[in-house]
Every structure is written in C-alpha cells, then in structure tokens.
C-alpha cells in the first residue's frame, strides 16, 4: 500500500506540473488571470435580427454550439415596411403558382441561380418555421404574399429566440464585438467582445454578420452616396457589423443602390405622407396623378425624372384640416404654387379647371430605407475580400449583397431573411464541425 500511495502521489505531482503546459493546447488558448475566461463555440452570430435568429436556430438544429451577440439590452425588431409587406411566397403549391413567382422574380432583375434557390426553399422553410415556432401563415389579398396570422412581429422574434434557447443557443445582450480575429491563414478564429468596459475573447471557427446595412454609417454614406437621405424609420442605427467588415477590408459592392420610399418633412421631422387620390405628383417635367398608383410607382416616377424630390399638389378641400393635407402649404392659386417652387409647367394648368382657386402642396423627398448593395457575398454566403471568400466568415440580411439588383419584390426582404438565414446557418454549422 505504501508503494502504491507513493506512486499515486508522484503521478499527481507530474500532472500538476503538466497542467500549465497543457492549458494552451486545447480549443481555447490560456489567457492571463486578469480578465474573464474565454468563451467558445462553433458559430457566433452578430446581431439580433430575423435572419440572424433564423441562422442561429438552424445552426443549432445541425448540432452546432451557437452564440448570439448584440449591443442592445432589450432588442426590438426593425419594424416598418418589411413586416407590413408580408412574405413573398407562391400563391399555392401548383406548378402555375411557382411559374408566376419565377416570372415575377425574373422581371425584378433576379438572376437564375437566385430564382432557383428561392423557389426551391421558400415553401419548405415556411413549413419549417411552422414546425419550430408554431407560426401559421395566412395569404394576403395581394398575390404571392403571406403573413403570420397568430403572432405579432415582436412575438415572432421572441418565439425564434425561445426556440433557439431550447436548442442550447446562448444569447449575450449589451455586448459589443470589437474585433473579428483571423489567423495567419486568414481563416476566422474568433472574436473580441466587450461589455461594461470588460473585454473577453471568444473562440469560434465561423462567424455570421447579420442585420442592417450601412444607411446608419454616416462616414461611409458621405463617400458612396452623399446625396441620399436615409429614412429615419426602420433599422438605420449605425451597424457595428458594417464597421467590423470594413476594418477587415472586405469587398463593398453596389453601394449606391437602395430601395426608396416617399417622405415629407413636417415640423422638422420626416414622415411617410398620406397620398390623397385627388393629388398630382410633380417631378421635374413629369405630372402623375396619384389615383390608382402605389407608393412604389410614385417613387419610380420621381426616379425616372432624374431627381430626388417632387411635389404633391391638389385643390384645397372644403375642410382645410382634411386628413392628409393639414400640414401642406397653402397657395392662393396655381401660379403662386409654381412661382414659390420655381416651376415652369404650362401643362399643369390644363390639369385643373379652376387655376384661380386655393391649392395645397408639399415637397416630397425620396429617402432610402434599405440597402440593395452591401458587403459582397458568395452564393454560399461567405463574405469576400479581394474577390475571394474569407473562410468561416458569413453574412446574411441587409449587410450582405449576393446579387446586383435594382429592386426587390414586395415581401422579398422577409422571405430572404428566412431562406438565406436558414441556408447560411446550415453552411456555417457544417463548416464549423467539418
């Protein structure tokens, strides 16, 4: 027994001596004792966005250890037009409905590989969400659109988060990512994060940048689109993910391309205008009746005039406080309107039978509410630097640009978030575990 005890004691001494040397040989290298211990996982998602949550949920489904980092303590959805539009999807499961969807995507400028990918995945992914978070999809009156019928936008996000947590996804709120670390082979090896002034290392072989684009990045916007006014609504906060991407010198593509909306300025604030059907839109030399036109068609009319602004004009209604025109400027007659706005449009007089009456008008501005350009991404979702994928670094959502598009169909933003989010989550999980 004495010999056995001595040998055991000697073995313990040897192991104790080896521990410091072994600490740096595993997945997490040893750090000093001053800071908190490092975190480790397979996939790190940056941003609390729909596509980021979908990616996290799918990666966890694939067996990956997933972490989600975001700066907000109580994050809220981007909101606005994206949710209001609904989700682009086939009208039904017939071949005719799929053909209609493909034709619509083609007319919007989508490439064939994107069309094939989208139509192959959208119905399957909507069914997957029904299974994962219990959402039921209801068709909208507009063709090729649906919307969750049993949940609000906030609840939709929360359900995604709850489902991800049940699969082991860890969420880190109030946390800034200050660095994406690459190794000597230019592969992702992890992050540096900061919370309440304390820095911490994160080890993860794959990172997904998700969420908003660069509309909130004033420095970048002043360089690539100095004349463009970002919409004050939606997800226009400065995106730290964009700053991280730029710090890595990733490729930026199509930075001058945006989805636009109409806005008017009232009391020093931009807001979405009401569009009385009796009004005319005046853009350059173009005169377009509002009746029967969508907001998107009016946006296109202003763009076709080669300008960023126009005017809405109508005869003053019997009730000057009528809904929609209360904040519009009053003009004594049609000539007063043209003189005040430095317009010379003889044709405008023929649109009104009583040019001597009072009119109401307001300047309308194009504002950018979504980036069509962004950090260049491959078909697999990996972000590019000097035209080559950075191994382990993925992008999804507004921040990532896969195609050269000039427009998107209604509902396509949310649909992309679902289809691309799930796809990128799967690719990142496989890459991390492969």
pLDDT value of residue 318: 80
- The matching CATH number, chosen from 1.10.3720.10, 3.40.50.720, 3.90.550.10, 3.50.50.60, for 45-256+372-433 is 3.50.50.60
In angstroms, the CA 393 to CA 382 distance is: 6
- Phi, psi at 230, each rounded to 5°: -70, 140
Q: Give the pTM.
A: 0.87
Q: Which two tokens stand for residue 169?
A: 């996804």
| Paired strand residues for 327 | none
| Paired strand residues for 148 | 137
In angstroms, the CA 41 to CA 432 distance is: 9
Sequence length of the chain is 434
Q: Do 376 and 384 contact (CB within 8 A), yes or no?
A: yes
Nearest to 371 by CA among 213, 263, 222: 213
Identify the DSSP state of 377: B
Contacts of 19 (CB under 8 A, 6+ apart): none
pLDDT value of residue 7: 55
Classified as helix, coil or strand, 265 is strand
Q: Which two tokens stand for residue 197?
A: 């002034």
Token match 């992050």: residue?
A: 191
Q: Do 395 and 210 contact (CB within 8 A), yes or no?
A: yes
In angstroms, the CA 211 to CA 29 distance is: 30
pLDDT tens per residue, range 92-104: 989 999 999 999 9
In angstroms, the CA 234 to CA 414 distance is: 14
Q: Which two tokens stand for residue 219?
A: 């420095």
Do β-strands 309-315 and 198-203 pair in parallel, antiparallel, or remain unpaired? unpaired
pLDDT value of residue 240: 84
User: Helix 153-166 crosses helix 50-61 at what angle (to 10 degrees)?
Assistant: 20
Query: What is the enclosing helix (H) or strand (E) of 375?
Result: strand 374-376
- Mean pLDDT of residues grouped by 10 in the chain (434 residues)? 50 43 35 74 96 98 97 76 89 93 95 96 97 95 90 94 98 96 96 96 98 88 92 67 94 94 86 91 94 92 93 87 78 96 91 92 94 94 96 96 87 96 98 90
Beta strands in 198-335 (DSSP E): 198-203, 206-210, 229-230, 252-253, 258-266, 269-271, 280-283, 286-289, 309-315, 329-331
pLDDT value of residue 421: 98
Q: Do 210 and 188 contact (CB within 8 A), yes or no?
A: no
Nearest to 271 by CA among 320, 316, 328: 328
Domain ranges of the chain: 45-256+372-433, 259-368
pLDDT value of residue 27: 33
């Amino acid at each position: 027994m004495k010999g056995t005890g001595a040998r055991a004691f000697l073995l313990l001494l040897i192991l104790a001596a080896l521990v410091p040397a072994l600490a740096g040989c595993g997945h997490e290298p040893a750090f000093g004792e001053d800071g908190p211990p490092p975190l480790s996982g397979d996939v790190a998602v940056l941003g609390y966005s729909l596509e980021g949550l979908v990616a996290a949920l799918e990666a966890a489904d694939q067996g990956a250890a997933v972490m989600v980092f975001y700066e907000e303590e109580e994050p809220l959805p981007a909101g606005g037009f994206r949710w209001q539009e609904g989700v682009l999807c086939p009208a039904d499961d017939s071949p005719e409905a799929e053909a209609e969807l493909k034709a619509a995507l083609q007319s919007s400028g989508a490439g064939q590989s994107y069309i094939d990918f989208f139509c192959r995945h959208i119905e399957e992914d909507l069914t997957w969400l029904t299974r994962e978070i219990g959402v039921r999809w209801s068709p909208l009156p507009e063709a090729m659109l649906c919307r969750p019928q049993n949940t609000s936008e906030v609840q939709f996000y929360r359900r995604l988060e709850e489902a991800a947590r049940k699969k082991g996804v860890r969420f880190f709120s109030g946390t800034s990512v200050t660095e994406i670390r690459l190794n000597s082979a230019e592969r992702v090896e992890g992050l540096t994060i900061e919370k309440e002034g304390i820095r911490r290392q994160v080890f993860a072989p794959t990172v997904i940048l998700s969420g908003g684009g660069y509309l909130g990045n004033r420095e970048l916007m002043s360089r690539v689109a100095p004349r463009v006014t970002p919409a004050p609504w939606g997800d226009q906060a400065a995106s730290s993910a964009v700053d991280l991407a730029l710090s890595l010198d990733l490729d930026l593509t199509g930075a001058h391309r945006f989805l636009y909306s109409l806005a008017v300025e009232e009391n020093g604030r931009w807001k979405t205008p009401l569009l009385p059907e009796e009004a005319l839109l005046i853009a350059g030399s173009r005169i377009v009746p509002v009746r029967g036109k969508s907001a998107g068609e009016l946006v296109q009319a202003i763009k076709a005039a080669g300008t960023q602004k126009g005017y809405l004009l109508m005869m003053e209604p019997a009730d000057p406080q009528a809904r929609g025109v209360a904040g519009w400027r009053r003009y004594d007659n049609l000539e007063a309107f043209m003189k005040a706005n430095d317009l010379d449009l003889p044709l405008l007089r023929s649109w009104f039978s009583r040019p001597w009456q009072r009119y109401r008008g307001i300047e309308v501005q194009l504002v950018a509410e979504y980036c069509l350009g962004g950090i260049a991404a491959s078909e697999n979702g990996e972000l590019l630097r000097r035209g080559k994928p950075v191994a382990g670094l993925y992008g999804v959502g507004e921040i990532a640009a896969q195609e050269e598009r000039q427009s998107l169909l209604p509902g396509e933003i949310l649909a992309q978030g679902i289809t691309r989010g799930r796809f990128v989550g799967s690719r990142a999980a496989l890459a991390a575990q492969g």
